[in-house]
Amino acid sequence: MATKEELLKLFENNKGVFLSGEEIAEKLSLSRTAVWKAVNSLRKDGYRIDAVQNKGYCLAIDTDILSAEGILKYLEPVCSNLELTVLPVTDSTNNLLREMAAAGAPEGRCVIANSQTMGKGRLGRVFYSPADTGVYLSLLLRPGQCSAEQASKLTTMAAVAACEAIEDVSDEKASIKWVNDIYMNDRKVSGILTEASFDLESGYLEYAALGIGINIYPPKTGFPEEIKDIAGAVFRAPRNDGKNRVAAAFLNHFMEYYTAGNSADYAVRYRDRSFLIGRDINVLFRDGKRSATAIDVDPDCHLIVRYEDGSEDCLSSGEVSLRLADK
């Protein structure tokens, strides 16, 4: 670990506490000059580090900068095998992670970005990913002998984990719009995109890149015109470690479900958080849409719908929207 990263880890674990230059130098086996240089480097990265004579250096308690060191201090033992890479910007965390996967990266590699220039949503859409307002995260998974049907459950696990993470840090209710959108107060705050590679001979999953974007704060200039009526954020104003806490909480909850495998109870929690059940929706197809009512979510997290002619369907994938009259 580089000197700057070692110092940041020490500051993150002692946020709001003054540490003398001598104490820091001793803990990190550095010279006082190396400490001073590392402090200045962190300041250039945006960290507010106060310096007081005879007291030392202190990372401001209200700091909210996304970093591996900031996330690691909140992770539970279930995440001990994860390897975090945190970047200021990338085109797409899923794209970068898939390149790593193709090169043989092991399960648990996790790429997190402060912004994306080409954030990816479902069906070829763009996921708006401005700097300093969100968490954009992709996690590499290599479950053994996993079929396409089983792989689809990774997305539903992630949806429940996202809701629980948001509720942990905000104390507000989060809910799921089938199949992979997370809402708070009738606004979309998160979207999930799982991209996978399968072995053509066995039909089993080679790897999955589980991607999630979470709007932590509203952009200073507002959301773009095309999403301003639907997009929202977890917090209305900056919070101490808001981004790091949400990222860590998501990883903690997801890895609990993932490591539990078939014994996980996420399906019940997924159903309980669905806000579509009993509501009028449109089921969207390539050639049009059909009006329906969402009846239930089954144990495999499929959406059961009843069309206007009385026929029913069990949707394992696809897209739905609330009927305009129900908005």
Question: What are the boundaries of each domain within the chain?
Answer: 3-59, 68-272, 280-326
Q: DSSP character for 77?
A: G
pLDDT band for position 327 (cuts 50, 70, 90): very low
pLDDT at 117 over 80: yes
- Residue 69's φ and ψ, nearest 5 degrees, are -65, -35
Mean pLDDT of the chain, nearest integer: 93
What local confidence, expressed as pLDDT, does residue 263 receive? 62
Torsional sign, CA 86, 92, 97, 103 = negative
By percentage, how much of the chain surpasses pLDDT 90? 83
What local confidence, expressed as pLDDT, does residue 148 receive? 83
What local confidence, expressed as pLDDT, does residue 146 receive? 87
**What are 43-58's pLDDT values in tens digits?**
999 999 999 999 999 9
Beta-ladder partners of 228: none
pLDDT at 293 over 60: yes
CA–CA dist 126, 111 (Å, integer): 18
pLDDT band for position 182 (cuts 50, 70, 90): very high
What local confidence, expressed as pLDDT, does residue 264 receive? 65
What local confidence, expressed as pLDDT, does residue 1 receive? 65
CA–CA dist 236, 225 (Å, integer): 19
- CA angle, 240 then 244 then 246, to 5°: 95
CATH code of domain 68-272: 3.30.930.10
Q: DSSP character for 142?
A: -
**What are 216-264's pLDDT values in tens digits?**
999 989 999 999 999 999 999 889 999 999 999 999 999 999 998 766 6
**What are 56-75's pLDDT values in tens digits?**
999 999 999 999 999 999 99
CATH code of domain 3-59: 1.10.10.10
Class of 280-326 per CATH?
Answer: mainly beta
CB distance 282 to 321 below 8 Å = yes
